[in-house]
């Protein structure tokens, strides 16, 4: 692994370890959302790092295969908490849709050439005394 790849991997890992996704709270531009989604069906483990801009714009990256492969993601989260993004890597594009549900779960779907991941479930917030499933 070259030095540049090592630096990027280390930086992304530190960011992922230090932040959490919390769309449910009223957060604005500059908020960093980072989370890890485990394998679902035939879909791999994914690591996400997304920054929220003005008007709900989302930009960042998603990686897989131990952060050896990455895609740029961009899109929006609406006032209805519905998420629409595209992921671009190696000349391919996948569409990511999702819903930040009021029960504390983010449900994502990814559809593109050679990928169809449905129902990726990530906890986005927890309240004391509540167990999310």
Nearest Cα to Cα of residue 60 among 82, 98, 32: 32
DSSP 41-74: TTBPPEEEEEEE-GGGEEEEEEEETTTTEEEEEE
What's residue 86's pLDDT? 97
Is the full-model pTM beyond 0.85?
no
Mean of pLDDT values over 30-57? 87
* Candidate from 8-17, 84-93, 102-111 with smallest mean pLDDT: 8-17
Three-state SS string over 13-45 comes to: HHHHHHCCCCCCCCCCCCCEEEEEECCECCECC
What's residue 15's pLDDT? 38
What's residue 11's pLDDT? 40
Buried b (16+ CB within 10 A) or exposed e, 66-98: ebeebbebbbebeeebebebebebeeeebebeb
pLDDT in tens, 48-97: 998 889 888 999 999 999 889 999 999 999 999 899 999 999 899 999 99
Quote the mean pLDDT of the chain: 77
Domain residue spans of the chain: 3-123
What's residue 122's pLDDT? 83
Neighbours of 28 (CB within 10 A): 10
Neighbours of 40 (CB within 10 A): 16
Contact status, residue 86 vs residue 70, Cβ threshold 8 Å: no
Examine the pLDDT at 22 and tell me if it is beyond 80: no
């Amino acid at each position: 692994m070259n030095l540049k790849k090592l630096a990027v991997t280390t930086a992304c890992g530190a960011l992922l370890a230090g932040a959490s996704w919390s769309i449910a709270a009223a957060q604005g531009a500059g908020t960093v959302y980072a989370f890890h989604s485990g394998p679902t069906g035939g879909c791999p483990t994914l690591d996400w790092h997304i920054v929220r801009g003005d008007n709900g714009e989302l930009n960042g990256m998603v990686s897989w295969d131990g952060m050896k492969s990455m895609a740029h993601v961009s899109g929006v989260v609406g006032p209805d908490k519905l998420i629409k993004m595209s992921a671009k890597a190696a000349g391919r594009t996948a569409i990511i849709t999702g819903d930040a549900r009021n029960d504390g779960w983010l449900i994502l779907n990814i559809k593109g050439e050679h990928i169809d991941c449905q129902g990726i479930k990530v906890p986005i917030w927890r309240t004391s005394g509540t167990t999310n499933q």
